[in-house]
Structure 1
């Protein structure tokens, strides 16, 4: 190859120069100088194994295995950081429209240009495919390693792998291909292979190899069938047959029509062809055939599909499983794009099933998005839960309030409850959930949300997310700001964290709502949608009437804001600092207009400041962040 020839020529020329220098400096023969120069050039060359062995191989196998485990964790964290960065830009970003070393005192108003990065959110978003992360098996990359058995060490797969795909391979696979010693350690460290994700066009053989290498340890399995591809992108369709086309032309001077025929390839279809799923139903069945024999190893199971015919296949298979003895986290997600939420469609798939025969003794986290089960018969395993998420259920397949209450009563350590266009139906009676710390309410009807919140008694609630749209929620906002019957304080008065995307209500209701947030420390406010949301922002710099505190939300320390430009946010920061209620930490959307001057001011007047890039989805919400839980 030309590249190899050029490298050899450069190497030879460098070798001659070094040898000539050694002859002059040490008075040795040219032959001896060539030998000595080549030895020097080969020292510390990463592409040539050390003559006396690699020092890292002197480490105990246990320490090397721990290094591999750290590498796997870093791989996962970096993948999530790349696709769902909460931090936005680094402090020193090169994408400014003015000079980096410009004078900060100049009245320069260049607008900050941010990277298009998503922010990882955790509350219901419909629909959105997940990003691939290390441990997933995109389809057409490499075949699975053949040397899974102890006797296969001589057959390293390096020559069979496509070098262009090496950077996309997860850390543990790369480590297992470095040398025989590393391979033995990696394949013997079974924890490296327990996170198995099927995404895109899955490589089934590789997935099977990973499950085998886990050697019976608890598995974290994700099946994501939401990826789509253009028709024919992975199909061996024959070339289209030539077609005869009639071409007609009109001559305005003579008023005559003439026609000719043309034979050739079909005319292009100007409309984009519908995309097809990367994983057809048959592919999903094959995945289930592979993982279900290992159901006793499942610790985490998540399945994401676009349409309910896929999920019905899943439900039938899970209902046939006798139990899931160590399953802790169970999530089923259907992203059907439907506007019908009164009656489930299609009716032939509305059958309610009980997964795992109701035997899931270790279950703590459940998420059902657009997926219904036999709620009444499932109370045997919907107990001792810590996190419950129900989203996008038609009204006729939702659980009854009686069953919902039984689930809550059987989960005395429940911490987070999320209801997004879902929730119990029927007459609601008072139920206390003393352990609940986080509540997410999204896209509920006002006449439903009011009796629901009247029924729920939540004395320990600290974190609340609200996204209410398309109605007037004045009465609901007022209800939250009013102490419940028999209570001395309102639900809002105990909050330390609030995430508010949408709450259309009157000015008076907004003021009453904000006036109850006396202990609030963290506020995530989205003013980019409803016009009414700006009133909540404006109240942050006003004095609460009848209050001894200087301003609304007097203890507010951290603000994450979207839909407000830099100058207005600067005014807010200044007003609160002057009033003795300063904000210390600020995150502002990169899509809002923020000048270089604004940014420099924020960094100079706040403890921490950062940009974030919100999701493209208008429905993206934020639930209880892990960072908030550390407070």
Structure 2
């Protein structure tokens, strides 16, 4: 018999005595609120009773008798829970949860992972790292893999693709990030550099990241410039932002291969500021040519608060064009902007936030550019005439995701009227701080707009008047049979497919009332996402009231929700089906 100190956790936990819940621990039934919390607490209680593994301890697989006993305990417990419901003794629920955890835990401890070929283990590691919900989690997953044992560390460090996504979150001189940079070897590299300090205010004199620091950092990174596939840089002041663009231009000019597919440069200081701390007059008068003209591989471009030489920079076959906070006098001319759109026929996402082409005297004297593959359009921080001018420039009949934000200071109902016939396939709609006056004519315009989007299934709202939401509870017929409007059936409803809300900066009582009344209409909202960090400002009672009308979750940061991805993915599947049908029809013909 092995010594007491070397007894396995399997042996110890196989003979656990009957457990009762800890005092104060809730014991909810499966499928009810709090059940997940109970599962976590049971897991912690069980693990706390297991001995700490040592170099001398050995793990033995539970015997078949033990597996059988655990299975019987689970089946008996589930039978009692089903039969007695709320009258079942709390210890039965606790015990059933405990044995379920034991069975899963021991199954994975018994799995002989190290007997797998290294190639299989590598693929498992990649799935673990790449399936994370956000970059911060991905960073920790990679570190954890190297901390388990010597074999895991050797396999993980030997796989360059585990380290080629580098997020510079450590402090200068970035020892950890450059260690990953070396581990990436010759693999394509994705780099995120965020030197914006959220504690800094608008006083740019306090911002300490300099052009020299950026230059030194890029010199180290650009030894692998041909391998860099993605480069995202976020800074506050002009000098480091301009340094990024000029370094890329210089590298391109001397013939260094540039294969960047995704480039994002953000200057997060005072928007539109051309003169100020660190501004380079020469950089304004002679803006850089992006990558020295080497943009053949570029498909995703985002420029915020900085600009380039639009006329000399070739921009073709982009799938994403994102322009933000750019003064009009350094923006592309309307002719150049329209030329870029025409040269990007597969453009999928167009985002214009406080930035767009220079307007002309004849704002609307242009034929719209066809963007037949555009799925996402973002418009923000524009006055009414300019917003209408932008919308008039494009024809995107298959748009799925429309965002309007920071449109205030006047009544934007004229913009709503312009949008109504253009985007009838929208499934995801964002309204953040959009000012629409709900006058009788305003209600008619909004009603026609909502009716023009019958497939709308996901709405993101913030700082929106309650009357806009209330319109979706009304009878559309009484708004749409005026002013020689087309007659609508009186039994038609607004947005029959709307199932998901993403909310911030709204009175929670307004959301509760809206969801309750939609449910009474037979059109329930099934899920509410609360946008962080606003979600954490809500009271316990507010969250409880929201949960009474729909399932409530906190929206993920920096990524889409499951519903958003599903709605966008469904369109891709629909396109594939249409292509197959067309091919079949051609064969029949």
The 3 A distance-change label for structure 1 pair 552 and 186 is closer
The 3 A distance-change label for structure 1 pair 512 and 49 is farther
Q: Is the 8 A contact 2:272 2:305 kept in 1?
A: no
1:450 Cα deviation from its structure 2 partner = 1.4
Q: Normalized per residue, which structure has more helix?
A: 2
Match for residue 102 of structure 2?
none
Match for residue 231 of structure 2?
301
Please show how residues 83-482 of structure 1 align to structure 2 within 5 Å.
134-135=138-139, 170-227=140-197, 275-277=206-208, 279-322=209-252, 324-338=257-271, 340=273, 347-350=281-284, 351-379=286-314, 382-427=315-360, 429-430=366-367, 431-467=369-405, 468-481=407-420
1:510 Cα deviation from its structure 2 partner = 4.3
**Structure 1, residues 90-121: CA drift from partner, whole Å, max 9, x if none?**
xxxxxxxxxxxxxxxxxxxxxxxxxxxxxxxx
**Structure 1, residues 251-298: CA drift from partner, whole Å, max 9, x if none?**
xxxxxxxxxxxxxxxxxxxxx998553x44333222101111211101
Larger Rg: 1
1:50 Cα deviation from its structure 2 partner = 5.5
The answer to whether structure 1 residue 539 and structure 2 residue 471 are counterparts is yes
The 3 A distance-change label for structure 1 pair 511 and 388 is same
Residue ranges of structure 1 left out of the alignment (5+ in a row) = 1-32, 81-131, 136-169, 231-271, 482-489, 604-608, 616-620
Task: Normalising by structure 2, report the TM-score.
Answer: 0.67
Q: Is the 8 A contact 2:413 2:445 kept in 1?
A: no
**Does 200-209 or 44-53 show the bigger shift?**
44-53
Match for residue 430 of structure 2?
499
Match for residue 509 of structure 1?
442
Report the 3-state secondary structure (helix = DSSP H, G, I; strand = E; otherwise coil) of the residue aligned with 1:491.
coil
The 3 A distance-change label for structure 1 pair 49 and 335 is farther
Report the 3-state secondary structure (helix = DSSP H, G, I; strand = E; otherwise coil) of the residue aligned with 2:234.
strand
Match for residue 46 of structure 1?
53
**Structure 1, residues 292-350: CA drift from partner, whole Å, max 9, x if none?**
12111011111111011111111111101125543211111110124658999663431
Counterpart among 119, 126, 132 of residue 62 in structure 1: 119
**Structure 1, residues 141-185: CA drift from partner, whole Å, max 9, x if none?**
xxxxxxxxxxxxxxxxxxxxxxxxxxxxx4434433544433332
Higher relative contact order (CA closer than 8 Å, sequence separation 6+):
1
The 3 A distance-change label for structure 1 pair 349 and 611 is same
Q: Is the 8 A contact 2:499 2:526 kept in 1?
A: yes
**Structure 1, residues 468-492: CA drift from partner, whole Å, max 9, x if none?**
12233232222223xxxxxxxx024
RMSD of aligned Cα (Å): 3.6
**Structure 1, residues 393-417: CA drift from partner, whole Å, max 9, x if none?**
0111101111111111111111110
Cα distance in 2 between the residues matched to 1:204 and 1:455? 45
Cα distance in 2 between the residues matched to 1:433 and 1:495? 15
Instruction: State how many pairs are aligned.
Output: 445
Q: Is the 8 A contact 2:164 2:189 kept in 1?
A: yes
Cα distance in 2 between the residues matched to 1:293 and 1:52? 48
Q: Is the 8 A contact 1:327 1:362 kept in 2?
A: yes
The 3 A distance-change label for structure 1 pair 339 and 399 is closer
Q: Is the 8 A contact 2:170 2:176 kept in 1?
A: no
Cα distance in 1 between the residues matched to 2:130 and 2:347? 28
